[in-house]
Chain A
Amino acid sequence: MTPREKAILELVRLSEEEQRIADEAEKHGESGKGKRKVFQKYMIKNIVFLAIITCCTLVTGAIMPLLVNVPLFGIIQLGLGIQFSLFPVIGMMKVRKPFALLLQSLFISVFLVFMFPPMVLLIACALVAELLTLLIFRGYKNDWACVFAGTLYMPLTLPLLYMYYNVFYTVSGEEKAAVSMFIGGGNAGVIIGITIAVIAVCFVGSVIGMVIARELKKAGKLK
């Protein structure tokens, strides 16, 4: 073996050693400190991306003012389920930190006041969805945790809006027919059916969001 070949071999061995040490350090970090740290600090790039993706949700959800007056139980959720699950899931898959969904809800809430004030309750729904996700998945490392949160996000507004219509419209007295339609006519079958439909729509939206995010990740865009 010539000295040149020896040197090359030595270099290869050294680089392999360095790579091994780096891999071990990374593995140790993930299993130890990194995994334990559920709550991480937000950076500017996280906030910016969440705001931009919220803007997409807002623009595609602009049909809300038209849907709010259609007296059909769950029509808002059915009409907005895809948008309000697809984009938040992309946001959560890029910013894998707790309360990413809550932040998106906060950003959109100001605009929802003008579209349909009771939808500001989305903030509470985001909080509940996040807490459930954190309890079950302990963070957003798993892609399905994002899908889970995205699927729960919009359907959680159903009981809140049910209460809202029940309380709000009965105040006016003469609205019984409309209230009846808004709250599913007291028919448990209708309520359960529409709730399942809303969950299905949101699940589809979340899965599409996950697929898009995975594709972007593969392309090196979603670091």
Chain B
Amino acid sequence: MAFFRYKRNLYPLIAIASALIIMVFGLVMARTVVCSYFLAGAFVWLFIFGCWKQCLKALPLFITVGGIFTLIAYYAANNNLFAALAMANRFGAVFLAIAPGMSIQAVAMTRNLSQLHTPRAITLGMLITMSFVPVLRGEIKRVREAMKTRGAGSILNPKIFYRAFLIPLVTRLVDISDTLSLSIETRGFTLGKSKYTVYKREVINYMDVAYILGLIAGVVLAVVL
């Protein structure tokens, strides 16, 4: 009974829906104190439902960036606390909406979309886009190291940035793309309408239902109270 089994990650589409709810509600109700309570509740809710790592990652960012913008809003609006609160709530909503997004694994998202018969080209593209970020980070690091080794100069110089950073990086990306596409084709992947099987199916279970219902209940309570 997959529905009653404990799982650590949220159902991908539910995670996207929850991010939308948090962000839209946060932006609409930003000027109210109730919004702050809702965001605090949503933070705890996400923490309980397996997104605690992502919440902890987003928290320092929110405190730093949100804090700076909140202070700017406070002083820009002639020491108006409500303006500062609105800014803090907006940043809170944005950073909190990122947390369920970060919890989605690229493979889980692809499986989910494949189950829903999304065209293969789109699922493949999304999978690569999602999972390529660490590779890209590694490549950027390598190109920067090569620049240092060659004594290419400062990356802030536009000419050096273009010649010694951008061109080698894009060249490397083209090479990776060729290798990756060859590797995908070798494994028999096609873009046609050939039949395929999703071995590990993504299923909605009681945790996903409880999570989204709790979030909706929070929205309703915040509006009603």
Contact = CB atoms under 8 A, between A and B. Distances in A.
Contacts of B166: 212
A116 B16 CA distance: 12
B117 to A, nearest CB: 15
Interface string A104-124: 001110110111110000000
A107 B129 contact: yes
Interface string A149-189: 00000000000000000001001101100100000000000
Given A103-B125, A107-B126, A114-B101, A69 B133 contact: no
Contacts of B190: 44
Nearest to B179: A48
B15 to A, nearest CB: 9
Given A51-B129, A114-B101, A172 B28 contact: yes
Q: Sort chain B's interface into a size bin.
A: 35 or more
A59 B133 CA distance: 7
A69 B69 contact: yes
A221 interface: yes
A117 B20 contact: yes
A99 B121 CA distance: 12
A52 interface: yes
A49 B177 contact: yes
Contacts of B23: 114, 116-117
B220 interface: no
Interface string A33-74: 000000000111101111111111011000001101110000
A51 B132 contact: yes
A108 B129 contact: yes
A222 interface: yes
B94 A68 contact: yes
A115 B20 CA distance: 10
Contacts of A44: 124, 181, 184-185, 189-191
A94 interface: yes
Contacts of A49: 174, 177, 181
A188 B174 CA distance: 43
B111 interface: no
Contacts of B174: 49, 94, 216, 221-222
Contacts of B137: 59
A168 to B, nearest CB: 7
Contacts of A108: 129
21 contacts: A44-B185, A45-B182, A48-B181, A51-B125, A52-B129, A52-B136, A52-B180, A55-B136, A56-B173, A58-B133, A94-B174, A103-B121, A107-B129, A108-B129, A111-B130, A113-B19, A114-B23, A114-B101, A117-B23, A172-B30, A219-B171
Interface of A: 42-45, 47-56, 58-59, 65-66, 68-70, 90, 94, 103, 106-108, 110-111, 113-117, 168, 171-172, 174-175, 178, 208, 212, 215-216, 219, 221-222
Given A48-B180, A59-B133, A212-B166, 7 more contacts: A45-B181, A49-B177, A55-B133, A69-B91, A114-B102, A117-B20, A215-B167
4 nearest CB pairs, A to B: A114-B101, A51-B128, A45-B181, A51-B125
